[in-house]
Amino acid sequence: MASTITYAENTARRILSGTGALALVPYRVDPARSVPALGHGVDEQGRIIVVCTADEAERMGDTPVRIDGVKKGMEVDVDIIAASIHALGLVTWCEPDIEIPGLGIEASPYLRFGIVDTETLFIRTPHGTTRCEVADLWLGEMVPDEITRREFDARDEITRLTDRQLAGLVTGVFVGMIPGVVLSDQEQPMCAGLQHRLAVVDVDRSGIVVMETTDVRVITVLVRFPHPVSTLEGLARAVDALAAQTSVRDASPRI
């Protein structure tokens, strides 16, 4: 269980740091309105920062909000939600032309920076829902690691694994021969375009999340790296190690 909790917390940290998309629902002003953040991240004090249009910020004002964050999967030809976060908090908008550094977005008359105060959030991954205390997420380094900052470059490293190798990793984790965790295993009828597929859903310092489908079943596993990684160089070595764990014989899906 500890490994899945660690993965969930790190995923929440990555989403808040700027990965994925974030939206605010000002439920006391307009509960049906979802306002997308044009940018978001965490400042040096561990505060969640959002950037919205000036019109939206003025329309909602300082108010309680529901925070919805979504991180999509790494595949480019299929839309997969890797994880989502949800929390209640209070947004306080900075004065016009006030910029909070660290997000890479400059002050503009058309933008407003806001500070979102929240204590607890819930993150949903294929393994289920995990409760996180926001303050606990920033006990260590707040600066995103290289894998988080350069996710598409990380994806390129992982694509060196063939479908045969990915299938071998899924099977190895499923039967307990390769270190990892089965995040979900469920019966679910799949449309023709998604049947018998392998998809890399996510990567973090602990491993890669791989999803495999048949026509009526979906299994998602976290394949653990031999050691945690934080750089692309370390990821390249980890990918080589995973490839070495798979058999050279045909490792077609056996779930």
Quick: pLDDT tens for 110-126.
Answer: 999 999 999 999 999 99
Local structure of 116: helix, strand or coil: strand
Q: Could you check whether 2-143 and 151-245 share the same CATH topology?
A: no
Residues 79 and 95: their CA atoms lie apart, in Å, by 37
Residues 129 and 3: their CA atoms lie apart, in Å, by 14
3-state secondary structure 180-194: EEEEEEEECCCCHHH
Between these two residues, 121 and 19, which has the higher pLDDT value? Answer: 121
Q: Could you tell me the CA-to-CA distances from 162 to 57, 87, 182, 214 in Å, in that order?
A: 47, 38, 20, 18
Least confident range of 104-113, 170-179, 183-192, 201-210: 183-192
pLDDT at 193: 76
Residue 35 pLDDT exceeds 90: yes
Judged by phi (left if over 0) then psi (alpha if -120 to 50, else beta), residue 179 lies in beta
Greatest CA span in the chain, whole angstroms?
A: 63
Local structure of 146: helix, strand or coil: helix
Local structure of 149: helix, strand or coil: helix
Residue 183 pLDDT exceeds 80: yes
Q: pLDDT-derived band of residue 229, with 50, 70 and 90 as boundaries?
A: very high
Domain 151-245: which topology? Split barrel-like (3.20.180)
**Average predicted confidence (pLDDT) for the chain:** 89
Across the range 230-235, mean pLDDT stands at 94
Q: Which uninterrupted H or E stretch holds 131?
A: strand 128-133
Helix 232-245, helix 163-175: angle, nearest 10: 70
Residue 86 pLDDT exceeds 60: yes
Q: pLDDT-derived band of residue 139, with 50, 70 and 90 as boundaries?
A: low
Question: Phi and psi (nearest 5°) for 160?
Answer: -70, -20
Q: pLDDT-derived band of residue 52, with 50, 70 and 90 as boundaries?
A: very high
Show me where the domains of the chain are located: 2-143, 151-245
Q: pLDDT-derived band of residue 247, with 50, 70 and 90 as boundaries?
A: low
pTM of the model: 0.87
Q: pLDDT-derived band of residue 136, with 50, 70 and 90 as boundaries?
A: confident
Least confident range of 49-58, 109-118, 138-147, 227-236: 138-147
pLDDT at 252: 44
pLDDT at 253: 47
Q: Which two tokens stand for residue 113?
A: 């920076």
Domain 2-143 CATH assignment equals 1.10.760.10 = no
